[in-house]
Amino acid sequence: MTRVVYRTCTLCEACCGIEVHVEGERITAIGGDKRDPSSHGYICAKARALKDLHEDPDRLRYPMRRAGSEWQRVSWKEAFAYATDGIRAAQRAHGDAAAAIYLGEPMVHNLDALLFADTLVAALGTQKRFSANSLDQFPKQLVSHWMYGSGLFLSVPDVDRTDYMLIIGANPVVSNGSLMTAPGMPARLRRIQQRGGRVVVIDPRRTETAKLADEHYFIRPNTDGLLLAALIQCLFGEGRVRLGKLGSFAEGLEVVEKAVAEFTPEAVSESVGIEPETMRAIARAFSDAPSAVCYGRMGTSTVPFGTTTTWLIEVLNSVSGNLDRPGGAMFPKPPVDVTSLQPPTQRGRWRSRTRGVPEFMGELPAVTLAEEIETPGDGQVRALVTFAGNPVLSSPAGHRLSEALDKLDFMVSIDLYLNETTRHAHIILPPLGPLERDHFDVAFQLFSVRNTAHWSPAVFDAPRDARSDGDIVLALASRLYWARGGSGRVQAAVPRTLLALGSARASRIVLDVALRAGPYGNGLRPWRPGLTLERLCRAAHGVDLGPLEPCLPERLPARSDRKQRRIDLAPAEIVADLVRLRRSLTHQPPDLVLVGRREARTVNSWSHNLPSLVSGPSRCVLSMHPADAAARGIGPGDWVRVSSRVGAVEVPVRVTESVMRGVVALPHGYGHGGEGIRLHVAAEHAGASCNDLTDPAEIDPLSGNAVLSGVPVRVDRCPPC
Ligand SMILES: Nc1nc2c(c(=O)[nH]1)N[C@H]1C(S)=C(S)[C@@H](COP(=O)(O)OP(=O)(O)OC[C@H]3O[C@@H](n4cnc5c(=O)[nH]c(N)nc54)[C@H](O)[C@@H]3O)O[C@H]1N2
Ligand SMILES: Nc1nc2c(c(=O)[nH]1)N[C@H]1C(S)=C(S)[C@@H](COP(=O)(O)OP(=O)(O)OC[C@H]3O[C@@H](n4cnc5c(=O)[nH]c(N)nc54)[C@H](O)[C@@H]3O)O[C@H]1N2
Ligand code: SF4
Ligand SMILES: [Mo]
């Protein structure tokens, strides 16, 4: 007999509703759930790979302890004891600061991991927390922290109502959207055009999104800040600035006007590579449209001007009257309102030991992890926990991090696979697969273009003696507290209680309380109607909570400074950074720079072991413009050596006009060829890691975010063998 389970796909930020058809213990089909209030049946090719993931013989199913290069199965009890002893031994010898943790992206797609990860961080008693956030969207969070008062209160484009969408450095047709939960972006973009609106893309590549757009302009990498400053300057210059209702609670408009005054289209045109008249036309069209929104992502975030560029996007939306209004940039109202449940976000309470970069939201930049391990002195990292992360492939100079990991006294990985990072661990603690646990998306509803809620029941019971991510972190946290003997006794009671319940029950209780206390709940008054977990469980396809609504200033997060419930349009730290932006006008651009390229059937570094996603020709190829190829005697399909300040890789070339001259593009997440990994399918599609080229010395100085785009490289044809 076939049963159907409706749930949310956890593979990317689109959070599509899927239906999983099961006969006995076998998945017979995975399709889109037409009744999902957000995705309406849309899925991409990756959803079906959840079956491959569920069945993958390489997926680890029991704890494994390393002895030299051999791995031995151990019981959970032994595993937790060994992990705790290893971490505590390093801390006893070198202090609590000798332990660090790295949290990876899939953690955010996992309810109990997200709820309980902080318990583990607290139990480690260290300020050395790293995550994929600083390889990704830290600039957006920092801008929101400074402008609106919280690094969790982010504006998203109201794609379904906008009349003009300016997309800078994002490729949602392939990535399925990021910091914008909007499944089925191709159709949503087409609908903008069908209602008479325009889609304009700015990207050094002619992307799949650009192909769908009304206009596409190539731009020199990392010059978007200049372009945006010029667009805003045009609005001021032509008297087009209108704050609307923001006028009564936004400060700093005059500072912005002064700050952008010198960035005229003429002044920036040569650096940016776009004609002044084109910039003016974009500014006018943006301003004339009944509603308009500018949306930027990886291409505006993971660059040396990440924070300043991201701020300029927010400013463009604000001064054109498009912040917090339908069709502009709006603020979702999620069922679990994380912003109001948490204390205000903070920055600068401590600094990175090696570079002095300030912590933000409790984290230090991921690019500093390797040097924290290698630099001797007080606080040198000797023990590391990686949790759902693969920093060897995902962070700059991953090959150097790989060497650094071998120098650790002790390493624990909580992960599904024995891969490029976890092979360095002394012990791997593997959690349940995504279909073996319940799920509710807490994180991505913060960025959803429509307010919805969806409870996802587990498709399969957890196998005997298996643990969820939540169970693992709680068990480890609890043992670490008690191993510290005496200290932290109060906190120790928390994981103990949760442990007794099991993380699945505990997370349901926490979620139910959060829903009741949330904007659609009953205010914790049971006699009143409102959203509860029970109600969600009855709505198999999820519930629709309506379109985004204007909500300022009422929903501006409480903050600790004098700017309570005000918008700071001109944070001093960012305005000061415009000096650096101005100086960049005189920089000679490098001959050739590397940018990223996401491919439709990938999930960062960890999907290449799923057979349905790797069939066909290799995708780890370098895209290069015909003129750049010809100048180096390179032909289609040739193998080339790409080298940067920090390393070199060899890959085949695709000669294509889809990248602009002076730019080459390579996808990230490849490089599975090393010794000691257990990824049989991925090893046959190994490719090379573009993070062996990206440079950890380069960061966005304000947020500490990694620079993954615009890396100066040299490309030489490999001699024929
Ligand atoms: N050059 C370059 N580098 C990049 C990027 C880029 O565009 N260019 N993109 C950056 C971005 S945006 C991101 S978000 C980061 C991602 O960086 P990371 O999060 O460090 O890397 P992932 O590739 O997502 O690896 C996720 C790991 O989690 C494991 N995993 C998967 N599901 C689960 C689970 O449910 N539980 C547990 N415990 N483990 C699980 C996988 O096996 C894998 O080891 O990469 C960044 N790196
Ligand atoms: N298929 C697939 N989907 C994914 C992922 C995946 O690995 N594969 N990863 C997920 C994750 S973790 C994230 S964070 C999102 C990211 O989502 P997106 O940001 O939409 O995805 P990217 O493909 O990184 O798009 C960045 C674009 O910026 C361009 N770019 C690079 N440098 C510059 C620049 O200096 N200026 C401008 N204007 N453009 C530039 C690149 O050419 C690229 O087209 O995708 C998510 N979705
Ligand atoms: S777009 Fe993302 S969430 Fe939707 S089916 Fe594909 S991988 Fe899953
Ligand atoms: Mo990401």
DSSP string, 506-554: HHHHHHHHHHHHSTTS-TT-TTS----HHHHHH-TT-EEEEE----TTT
Pocket flag, ligand 3, residue 620 (CB < 6 Å) = no
What are the residues whose beta carbons fall under 8 Å from the beta carbon of 122, sequence distance 6 or more? 477, 488, 491
Residue 358 Cα to ligand 1 midpoint, Å, equals: 24
Residue 169: DSSP 8-state? S
- CB of residue 176 inside a 6 A radius of ligand 3: yes
**Which two structure tokens, joined as six digits, stand for 241?**
């600035």
- In a 10 Å sphere around its CB, with 0-12 CB exposed, 13-18 middle and 19+ buried, how is residue 1 labelled? exposed
Closest ligand 1 atom to Cα of 605:
23
By most ligand atoms within 8 Å of CB, the mutation choice from 605, 692, 694 for ligand 1 is 605
3-state secondary structure of 450: strand
Nearest CA to ligand 1 atom 6: 668
Residue-wise pLDDT tens digits, 58-89: 999 999 999 999 999 999 999 999 999 999 99
Mean pLDDT rounded to a whole number for the chain = 96
Where residue 491 falls among pLDDT bands split at 50, 70, 90? Answer: low
For residue range 121-143, list pLDDT tens digits in order: 999 999 999 999 999 999 999 99
> Which token pair is 404?
């650094």
For the Cβ of 49 lying below 6 angstroms from any atom of ligand 2, the answer is no
Measured in Å, residue 665 CA sits from the centre of ligand 2 at 11
pTM of the model: 0.98
- Is any ligand 3 atom within 6 A of the Cβ of residue 663? no
pLDDT for 558 equals: 84
DSSP calls for 102-122: EE-GGGGG-HHHHHHHHHHHH
From the CA of 297, the nearest ligand is 2
Residue 50 beta carbon below 6 angstroms from any ligand 3 atom: no
State which of 167, 297, 447 you would mutate to test the pocket of ligand 2, scoring each by most atoms of that ligand within 8 A of its C-beta. 297
* Mean pLDDT computed over 428-444: 97
Which residues have C-beta within 8 Å of that of residue 52, sequence separation ≥ 6?
610, 611, 612, 613
Percent of the chain with pLDDT over 70: 98
CATH topology (fold) of 64-135+339-547:
Rossmann fold (3.40.50)
Residue having the nearest C-alpha atom to atom 39 of ligand 2: 169
Q: pLDDT tens across 448-472, in order?
A: 999 999 999 999 999 999 999 999 9
Provide the 8-state DSSP code for 303. Answer: S
**Is the pLDDT confidence value at 489 over 60?**
no
Q: Is the pLDDT of residue 720 over 80?
A: no
Q: Are strands 17-23 and 2-8 parallel, antiparallel or unpaired?
A: antiparallel
Which residue has its alpha carbon closest to ligand 2 atom 47?
Answer: 175
- What residues does each domain of the chain span? 2-55, 64-135+339-547, 158-324+554-582, 590-717
**d(CA 650, ligand 2 centre) in Å:** 22
Q: How far is the CA of 603 from the centre of ligand 2 (A)?
A: 12
- Quick check: CB of 44 below 6 Å from ligand 3? yes
The Cα 344–Cα 151 span in angstroms is 8
Output the furthest CA–CA distance in the chain (Å, rounded).
77
Pair of tokens at residue 402: 């790989």
- Alpha carbon of 299 to ligand 2 centroid (Å): 6
Query: Which range, of 164-178, 292-306, 516-530, 602-616, averages the lowest pLDDT?
Result: 516-530
Question: Is the minimum distance from the CB of 139 to ligand 2 under 6 angstroms?
Answer: no
H helices of 391-540, in order, are: 391-394, 398-405, 469-483, 489-501, 503-517, 533-538
Q: Specify the DSSP element, H or E, that contains 142.
A: helix 138-147
Question: Exposed, middle or buried, 375 (CB in 10 Å: 0-12/13-18/19+)?
Answer: middle
CB of 208 sitting under 6 A from ligand 2: no
**CATH number among 2.40.40.20, 3.30.70.260, 2.60.40.10, 3.40.50.300, domain 590-717:** 2.40.40.20
Residue 486 has pLDDT above 60, yes or no: no
Tokens of 98: 């000798």
714: pLDDT confidence band, cut at 50, 70 and 90? very high
Q: Cα 456 vs. chain centroid, distance in angstroms?
A: 22
Extended strands (E) in 172-267: 198-202, 215-217, 250-251
How far are the Cα atoms of 255, 335, 595, 636 from residue 331, in angstroms, in the given order? 25, 13, 30, 46
Ligand 3 pocket, mutate which of 6, 16, 449, 456 (most atoms under 8 A from CB): 16
Ligand 2 mutation target, pool 176, 203, 268, 663, most atoms within 8 A of CB: 203
Q: How confident is the model at residue 564 (pLDDT cuts 50, 70, 90)?
A: confident
From ligand 1's centre to the CA of 381, what distance in Å? 22
Q: Is the CB of 220 under 6 A from ligand 2?
A: no
Closest CA to 548 of 158, 15, 154: 158
- Residue 457 vs residues 19, 377, 443, 540: alpha-carbon distances, Å: 11, 48, 17, 9
Q: Is the pLDDT of residue 705 over 70?
A: yes
Q: How far apart (Å, rounded) are the C-alpha atoms in residues 363 and 348?
A: 10
Among the bound ligands, the one closest to the CA of 175: 2
Determine whether the shortest distance from the Cβ of 299 to ligand 2 is under 6 A: yes
| Ligand 2 center to 501 CA (angstroms) | 40
Q: Whose CA is closest to 709, among 699, 719, 721, 720?
A: 699
Give me the percent of the chain exceeding a pLDDT of 90: 93
Q: Is any ligand 3 atom within 6 A of the Cβ of residue 177?
A: no
Residue 526's pLDDT is what? 85
Which two three-digit tokens encode residue 604? Answer: 């960062």
What is the pLDDT confidence band of residue 525, given thresholds at 50, 70 and 90? Answer: confident
Residues paired with residue 619 on neighbouring β-strands, in sequence order: none
User: Could you write out the DSSP letters of every residue in 603-646?
Assistant: -TTS-TTSHHHH-SS----EEE-HHHHHHTT--TT-EEEEE-SS
270, pLDDT greater than 80: yes
Helix axes 306-319, 572-584, angle to 10 degrees: 110
Residue with CA nearest ligand 3 atom 2: 12
Q: Could you tell me if the CB of 173 is within 6 A of ligand 3? A: no
Q: Which CATH superfamily is domain 158-324+554-582 in?
A: Dimethylsulfoxide Reductase, domain 2 (3.40.228.10)
| Residues, Cβ < 5 Å to ion ligand 4 | 136
* Model pLDDT, residue 30: 98
Atom in ligand 2 nearest the alpha carbon of residue 221? 35
Distance CA 393, CA 692 (A): 8
**DSSP H helices in 195-263:** 208-212, 224-237, 253-260
| Closest residue to atom 27 of ligand 1, CA basis | 389
Q: Which ligand is nearest to the CA of 166?
A: 2
The minimum-distance atom of ligand 3 relative to the CA of 603 is: 7
Q: For a substitution probing ligand 3, which of 19, 36, 46 has the most ligand atoms within 8 Å of its CB?
A: 46
342-395 pLDDT, tens digit each: 889 999 999 999 999 999 999 999 999 999 999 999 999 999 999 999 999 999
The set of protein residues with a Cβ atom below 6 angstroms from ligand 1 is 104-106, 110, 132, 135-136, 298, 387-391, 394, 414-417, 419, 431, 434, 469, 596, 604-606, 668-669, 690-691, 694, 708
Contact 372, 100 (CB under 8 A): yes
Homologous superfamily (CATH) for 2-55: ADC-like domains (2.20.25.90)
Q: Is 222 in the pocket of ligand 2 (CB under 6 A)?
A: yes
The residue written with tokens 């704050």 in the block is 243
Q: Are 17 and 39 in contact (CB under 8 A)?
A: yes
Q: Per-residue pLDDT averaged across 465-490, rounded?
A: 86
6 Cα: distance to centroid of ligand 4 (angstroms): 25
46 lines ligand 3 (CB under 6 A): yes
